[in-house]
Amino acid sequence: MSVKGTDRKLFFMNTIKIGADELILWLRKNGNKLPNENLGRKIHDLIIELGGVMIEENYPSHWANQSGDKNVDRFDLPKTAAQYKIFTNELKELYDELSNW
């Protein structure tokens, strides 16, 4: 998806930046145990389907840095994740779909 001129301004005014890492954290809190690679692909496909765009790939994830606070591996939290812009009016649909995974 290419966004130009006035459309670009409107696009970024009505969107939110959200990372796949945030969505994976939400999924983990709700019991999802799929590997991060699978979740990353599914999240990408879903966000694109909802009209979002990837704005950065492999962005470092920032989790708590105290000893014992991190669970970073392929079945817990990711080290890096794609970042997206998605229309705010699509957030309900995004989380509704994630709830079914």
What is the full DSSP assignment across 3-17?
Answer: --HHHHHHHHHTEEE
User: CA-to-CA distance for 46 and 44, rounded, in angstroms?
Assistant: 5
Assessment of whether the complete model's pTM goes beyond 0.85: no
Q: Which amino acid is at 1?
A: M
Mean pLDDT, the chain, as a whole number? 85
pLDDT recorded at residue 95? 97
Q: How confident is the model over 56-96, as pLDDT tens digits? A: 999 988 876 555 555 677 778 888 999 999 999 999 999 99
Q: What angle do CA 41, 35, 83 make, to 5 degrees?
A: 40
Confidence check: pLDDT of 50 > 80? yes
User: CA-to-CA distance for 33 and 39, rounded, in angstroms?
Assistant: 9
